[in-house]
């Protein structure tokens, strides 16, 4: 095989990685945006605790996050055991587990970005919408979210990139299963450990650089588009 | 004014004292460093304390999958005595040892969780780890199905004991000591190459006498007893170089 041609197994790794990262990003999108808005706009009891809980996976070793997930959602845990008996849902050694692990570690990135973005929205604009008769929901979707979108989008891109880099929580919680949980970093690690795997490791390395760069380009583009839109809104 | 001026001057002598303290600390660190280092396959985790009990303070042991150990030695890790779980993984260090001696042998078994089978995947050591290589030789590729891989055989054991994997292939000695797993099948000897543990005295910048003494500690009757107590079979065939 030539140095730059991906094998079928490497294509599978790429497909799975993008699938897991996209799945996790979509999974955290609604709650992440909501929590960002809540933390930017509302004071409530237990706010500090909520903020700490959300931020923990960002500062904890990912392996610790994986271990917590295993204790909470593993087959022998209360929640995990119930989910398996009642719905047949299994996370350990399963793609669902890889998605959950990626979602948990990338969640703080989205919330932090969304919180910052919503803090930057002028509350008077939201107030004006309310006085003009728009309900809370309509104000959020017609005023707050569009204005905060560039920051939220940047948070989504960051979260997506973090999902693609996931290793620690995934290998502990979801394991190393070809085609199910072996995403790019795990495949790279496997290849590097094999006596003749340096070629494969290098190809996967090039892949992850390309994907990360594409995500950053997409993020910049979203950001610019959002700012342009805001500029037009200011002008009108 | 005069006080602030004086405060700005670097305090004399103190750096020298700190330097002395640092040198003393480093010296203390040097004397406390272990004299000999052992790298051992993960499946020997429970055997080594029995063998090294006398010299334990002067010996530093690293446990890992054999392939990881060999890669580390090939990259220059300061290991004096190496025990791996097969001969195949020794290729990268083929020119780095003085003596090779097969210390013990093992068997391969299929294990299942004690509380009954589950729907999980089959747990195996990765193909580059000896236990994973042996397992893939005894299991037809078609029968593998979904496989979760681990860097060493103890990871396989833990996954099956937790019930997250439906079954796994490990060494008989691992299965014997593990809680929560049952041995479902012992693979006949003729289905795979003999599982041997080569013991290597490596060339290096080590204290040669101490390293050889440690190497020989593995070949004493006491060591043989320690191996047997944990279910290994003991053989002794040395290859001097």
| ipTM, 2 dp | 0.71
Query: Is the pLDDT assigned to residue A84 strictly greater than 60?
Result: yes
Confidence at residue B4, expressed as pLDDT on a 0 to 100 scale? 45
Question: Each residue's pLDDT tens digit in chain B (241 positions)?
Answer: 444 444 455 555 555 666 666 665 555 555 555 578 899 998 898 888 888 876 656 788 888 888 889 988 888 888 899 999 988 889 888 888 888 888 889 999 999 998 876 778 999 999 888 999 999 989 887 777 889 999 888 899 999 988 889 999 999 998 988 888 999 999 998 888 889 999 999 987 677 888 888 888 888 888 888 899 888 988 765 554 4
Contact state of A177 with B148 under an 8 Å Cβ cutoff: yes
The SS3 of residue A177 is strand
Nearest to B161 by CA among B114, B116, B107: B114
Give the residue with greater pLDDT, B127 vs A32: A32
Which of chain A's residues have a Cβ under 8 Å away from the Cβ of B86? none
pLDDT > 70: percent of chain A: 95
- Per-residue pLDDT at A24 exceeds 70: yes
Average pLDDT over residues A106-124: 95
**CB A75 to CB B118 under 8 A?**
yes
Report the C-alpha gap between B209 and B55 in whole angstroms: 14
State yes or no: pLDDT of A145 exceeds 60: yes
Confidence of residue A97 (pLDDT cuts 50, 70, 90): very high
Confidence band of A159 (pLDDT split at 50, 70, 90): very high
pTM metric for this prediction = 0.79
What is the 3-state secondary structure of chain B?
CHHHHHHHCCCCCHHHHHHHHHHHHHHHHHHHCCCEEEEEEHHHCCCHHHHHCCCHHHEEEEEECHHHHHHHHHCCCCCCEEECCCCHHHHHHCCCEEEEEEEEEECEEEEEECCCCCCCCEEEECCCCHHHHHHHHHCCHHHCCCEEEECCHHHHHHHHHHCCCCEEEEEHHHHHHCCCEEEEEECCHHHCCCEEEEEEEECCCCCHHHHHHHHHHCCCHHHHHHHHHCCCEEEEEEEEC
Please report the DSSP string for A104-163 in residue order: HHHHHHHHHHHHHHHHTS-HHHHHHHHHTT--HHHHIIIIIHHHHHHHHHHHHHHHHHHH
Q: Which pLDDT value is given to residue B143?
A: 73
CB contact under 8 A, B162 and A74: yes
Q: How many separate helices (H) and strands (E) can be counted in chain A?
A: 11, 0
Structure tokens at A193: 């450990």
β-strand pairing of B108-113 with B181-186: antiparallel
Work out the end-to-end distance of chain B between its first and last CA atoms, rounded to an integer number of angstroms: 77
Give helix A47-59 / helix A62-73 axis angle, nearest 10°.
120
Contact B128 A193 (CB under 8 A): yes
Q: Would the pLDDT of A55 be above 60?
A: yes
Q: Which of A91, A189, A192, A193 to mutate to test the interface with B (most CBs of B within 10 A)?
A: A193
Angle, helix A184-193 to helix A198-235, in steps of 10 degrees = 160
| Residue in B closest to A77 by C-alpha | B162
The C-alpha atoms of residue A236 and residue A228 are separated, in whole angstroms, by: 13
- Pair type for strands B122-125 and B167-171: parallel
Report the chain B residue with the minimal C-alpha distance to residue A194: B128
Q: Report how far residue A190's alpha carbon sits from residue A171's, in angstroms, rounded to the nearest whole number.
A: 11
With b meaning 16 or more CB within 10 Å and e meaning fewer, what string describes A134-160? beeeebbeebbbbbbbbbbbbbbbbbb
* Contact check, Cβ <8 Å, A176/B67: no
- CA–CA min distance B241, chain A (Å): 25
By Cβ distance, the residue of A178, A194, A195 closest to B147 is A178
* Residue B148 with chain A: CB contacts under 8 Å: 93, 175-177
Contacts of B149 in chain A (CB under 8 A): 176-178, 190
Distance from CA of A75 to the nearest CA of B (A): 7
Q: Minimal Cα–Cα distance from A87 to chain B, Å?
A: 14
**Token pair of B210 as six digits:** 């101490």
Pick from B128, B146, B164: CB nearest A195: B128
Q: Searching chain B, which residue's CA lies closest to the CA of residue A93?
A: B148
What is the pLDDT at residue B182?
A: 92
The string over B158-186, giving b where at least 16 C-beta atoms fall within 10 Å of a residue's C-beta and e elsewhere, is bbbbbbbbbbbbbbbbbbeebeebbeeee
Does residue A196 carry a pLDDT above 80?
no
- What pLDDT, on the 0 to 100 scale, is given for residue B1? 42
The CA distance from B148 to the nearest CA of chain A, in Å, is 4
A-chain residues within 8 Å CB-CB of B165?
93
At residue A234 the predicted structure's pLDDT band, cuts being 50, 70 and 90, is low
d(CA B176, CA B170): 10
Please indicate whether, in this complex, the C-beta atoms of A177 and B119 are within 8 angstroms of each other: no
Tell me the pairing of strands B122-125 and B36-41. Answer: unpaired
| Residues of chain B with C-beta less than 8 angstroms from the C-beta of A175 | 148, 159, 164
Angle between helices A145-164 and A198-235 (to 10 degrees): 180
Least confident of A39-43, A162-166, B10-14, B198-202: B10-14
Confidence at residue B18, expressed as pLDDT on a 0 to 100 scale: 61
Contact B146 A177 (CB under 8 A): yes
């Amino acid at each position: 095989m030539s140095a730059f041609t991906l094998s079928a197994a490497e294509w599978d790794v790429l497909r799975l990685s993008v699938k897991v990262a996209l799945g996790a990003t979509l999974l955290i999108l609604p709650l992440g945006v909501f929590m960002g808005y809540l933390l930017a706009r509302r004071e409530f009891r237990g706010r500090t605790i909520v903020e700490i809980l959300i931020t923990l996976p960002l500062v904890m070793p990912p392996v610790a996050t994986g271990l917590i997930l295993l204790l909470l959602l593993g087959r022998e845990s209360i929640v995990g055991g119930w989910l398996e008996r009642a719905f047949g849902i299994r996370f350990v050694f399963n793609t669902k587990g890889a998605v959950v692990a990626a979602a948990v570690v990338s969640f703080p990135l989205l919330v932090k970005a969304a919180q910052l973005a919503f803090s930057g929205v002028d509350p008077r604009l939201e107030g004006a919408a309310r006085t003009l008769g728009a309900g809370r929901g309509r104000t959020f979707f017609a005023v707050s979210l569009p204005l905060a979108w560039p920051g939220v989008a940047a948070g989504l891109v960051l979260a997506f990139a973090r999902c693609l880099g996931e290793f620690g929580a995934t290998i502990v919680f979801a394991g190393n299963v070809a085609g199910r949980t072996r995403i790019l970093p795990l495949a790279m690690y496997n290849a590097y450990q094999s006596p003749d795997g340096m070629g494969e490791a290098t190809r996967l390395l090039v892949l992850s650089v390309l994907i990360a760069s594409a995500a950053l380009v997409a993020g910049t583009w979203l950001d610019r588009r959002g700012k342009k839109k805001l500029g037009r809104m200011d002008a009108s | 004014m005069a006080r602030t001026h004086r405060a700005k001057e670097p305090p004399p002598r103190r750096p020298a004292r700190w330097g002395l303290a640092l040198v003393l600390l480093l010296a203390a660190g040097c004397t406390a460093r272990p004299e000999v280092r052992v790298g051992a396959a993960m499946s020997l985790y429970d055997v080594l304390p029995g063998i090294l009990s006398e010299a334990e303070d002067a010996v530093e042991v690293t446990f890992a999958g054999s392939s990881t150990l060999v890669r580390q030695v090939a990259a220059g890790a300061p290991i004096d005595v190496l025990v791996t779980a097969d001969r195949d993984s020794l290729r990268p260090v083929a020119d780095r040892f003085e003596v090779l001696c097969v210390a013990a042998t093992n068997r391969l078994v299929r294990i299942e969780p004690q509380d009954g089978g589950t729907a999980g995947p089959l747990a195996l050591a990765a193909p580059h780890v000896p236990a994973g290589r042996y397992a893939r030789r005894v299991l037809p590729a078609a029968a593998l199905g979904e496989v979760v891989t681990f860097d060493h055989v103890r990871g396989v054991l833990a996954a099956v004991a937790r019930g997250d994997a439906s079954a796994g292939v490990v060494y008989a000695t691992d299965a014997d000591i593990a809680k929560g797993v049952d041995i479902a099948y012992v693979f006949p000897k003729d289905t795979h190459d003999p599982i041997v543990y080569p013991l290597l005295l490596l060339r290096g910048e080590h204290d040669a006498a101490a390293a050889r003494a440690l190497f020989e500690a593995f070949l004493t009757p006491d060591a043989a007893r320690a191996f047997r107590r944990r279910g290994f079979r003991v053989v002794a065939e040395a290859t001097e170089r």
